[in-house]
Amino acid sequence: MALSKILPASRDQSVDAANLILNGEMKIAQRGTSATGLTTGGYRTVDRHYIQITSAGTWTLTQSTDAPTGEGFSKSLKFECTTANASLGASSAIRIQNKIEGQNLQSLAYGTSSAKSITVSFWVKSSKTGTYVFDLQNTDNSRISCGTYTISSANTWEKKTITLAGDTSQGFDDDNNGSLTVSWWLAGGSNFTTGTQATVWEAQDNTNRAVALTVNLADTIGNTFYITGICLNVGDQAPANYPHRSYGEELALCQRYYQIVEGGYFGSSVAGVSNAGKIYFISEMRASATVTWTTALRNYGGSWTVGAPIGFYMTTDQTKYAHPYKIASVSTQDAEFWDRYTLSAEL
């Protein structure tokens, strides 16, 4: 039997169906399924999608169960405006961003005469019709390329597909840092709209990035925007079938950037002496991780201070484990502190 006959049905064989976007189906939400009162950006709710909100109203973000029927998606990322800003300032902006490591972009062959096109496909539903802007930003070399799409029916799921030509001029660094930022613009002030809309790769001029955007999603309380089923693949067409990943596969990929882990110390404690524990990471992270204590799980014997450790012993490489330490106030042969932490090595 020919090899092509036994490939999974979900793999379109005429295009490179590998999805460069992580969590494009919005399945993973390690930070929680809802965040309210947002006036500034950050990673909120669903993993890997950075939300930029700059002087553009107040928002609730949700990992929603509203998804296009019959397309194999069960979740979406939902924006809902709770305080409007109908008069955007120059620097105002709302963007959904997905940042990709340079070492994962080498197959694009950017910076060579063989640079390949990128096709992005996604499902959107918005309460506001109009023209929206999607852009690619090469953050290694300050270059941008943009595309547009139109939402023609309010509150209706629509699939959009945009193909952008490759950049023969500049490539991506082959390392673990962010090299490509993919952005969906939902609002933009004059700092982003007063130039000439970029449509092919060019030196980054922010005034050229959202010129075609006709929507200010922040203009009215209750405005909503949903997105899911994002696929960004090499080539000039989207795969016929979305390259779904299992929940476990997607979670493992996201944990390169963010994890929730538990760890601590078990053994004898000596009063007044620091006792170092250990946190083993679930998997190796992209870079040495920022460690944040969140929850006390067990405190026994040594009368440890409940809460964050005093510090961490330095390791030359904090991508796989970390050493929190606390000072006991009581000496005992049977002592334990055990806590929950978040680890962040986001781009």
Partner 1 sequence: MYKILNDLRTNEPSFVKRLSDNAFIPFDKANVDYLEYLEWLAEGNTPEEAD
Residues interacting with partner 1, by CB under 8 A? 176-178, 274, 286-293, 308, 311-314, 318, 325, 344-347
Query: Nearest approach, Cβ of 289 to partner 1 (angstroms)?
Result: 7
User: 125 is written with which tokens?
Assistant: 């539903």
Query: Nearest approach, Cβ of 259 to partner 1 (angstroms)?
Result: 14
Ramachandran region, residue 324 (left: φ > 0; alpha: ψ -120 to 50; beta: rest)? beta
Nearer to partner 1, 176 or 190 (CB): 176
From CA 117, how far away is CA 59, in angstroms rounded?
A: 34
User: 65 is written with which tokens?
Assistant: 């169960």
Nearer to partner 1, 240 or 273 (CB): 273
> 290-300 and 258-269: which strand pairing?
unpaired
Query: Nearest approach, Cβ of 345 to partner 1 (angstroms)?
Result: 7
Nearer to partner 1, 176 or 214 (CB): 176
Beta bridge partners of 97: 50, 183
- The one-letter amino acid at 142: S
Query: Nearest approach, Cβ of 177 to partner 1 (angstroms)?
Result: 6
> 130-138 and 178-188: which strand pairing?
antiparallel
Nearer to partner 1, 80 or 346 (CB): 346
DSSP sequence for 5-26:
HHS-TTS-SSS-----STTTT-
Provide the 3-class DSSP secondary structure of residue 138.
strand
Nearer to partner 1, 204 or 344 (CB): 344
Query: Nearest approach, Cβ of 73 to partner 1 (angstroms)?
Result: 29
Nearer to partner 1, 180 or 210 (CB): 180
Nearer to partner 1, 45 or 228 (CB): 45
From CA 164, how far away is CA 105, in angstroms rounded?
A: 15
Alpha carbon dihedral 29, 34, 36, 41, in 10-degree steps, equals: 20
Nearer to partner 1, 155 or 295 (CB): 295
Other C-beta atoms within 10 Å of 305: how many? 15
Query: Nearest approach, Cβ of 291 to partner 1 (angstroms)?
Result: 5
User: 119 is written with which tokens?
Assistant: 């096709």
From CA 244, how far away is CA 264, in angstroms rounded?
A: 36
How many Cα atoms occupy the beta-carbon half-sphere of 241 within 13 Å? 11
Query: Nearest approach, Cβ of 277 to partner 1 (angstroms)?
Result: 13
From CA 218, how far away is CA 324, in angstroms rounded?
A: 43
Query: Nearest approach, Cβ of 298 to partner 1 (angstroms)?
Result: 20
Beta bridge partners of 267: 335
3-state helix, strand, coil in the chain (%, to 5): 5, 40, 50
| DSSP secondary structure code for residue 36 in this structure | E
Nearer to partner 1, 169 or 176 (CB): 176
Query: Nearest approach, Cβ of 319 to partner 1 (angstroms)?
Result: 9
